[in-house]
Amino acid sequence: MRRAAIFAAAAGLAACASFPKAAVPVTGEWGGRHVGLSLGETSGVLDYDCAAGTIDGPLLPRGDGTFEVDGRHTPGTGGPERVGEIRPSFRARYRGAIRGGRMTLEARVENGVLLGPFTLVKGGEPIIFRCL
């Protein structure tokens, strides 16, 4: 009898325990100096001064606002793009933090390049300088 009462009490406490909420993907248009980011629920697209990138999954911040997500980085070249040209693309790990409507973002590219840190504002205009 005592064992059943202890089990019932433990089950009741477990039912009252608060479980962490599932992270909600960050979405929308974000802009800053030298970078623009367009985020959907399942992926994102980056535009840099002389490069482009993708975020290949949802951007899901942790409880403290920090995030890490994999993607790709494609360096740009000066001059026009040639029809059929395939530019090299590298794996990248994007990480940063979101605090209200501000985001810090940096990327470590598999070739050793570190991009950023950038500061972006939700709904802000990207200020991008194109390669010549």
- For the entire predicted model, the pTM comes to 0.79
Angle at 127 (CA atoms; ends 74, 58), nearest 5 degrees: 50
| Distance between CA atoms of residues 57 and 6, nearest Å | 44
Q: Model confidence over 4-59: pLDDT tens digits?
A: 544 454 455 444 444 456 678 999 999 999 999 999 999 999 999 989 999 999 99
Domain ranges of the chain: 22-122
Question: With 90 as the cut, is the pLDDT of residue 120 above it?
Answer: yes
For 6, list phi and psi in degrees, rounded to 5. -65, -45
Q: Model confidence over 45-100: pLDDT tens digits?
A: 999 998 999 999 999 999 999 999 999 999 987 777 778 878 889 999 999 999 99
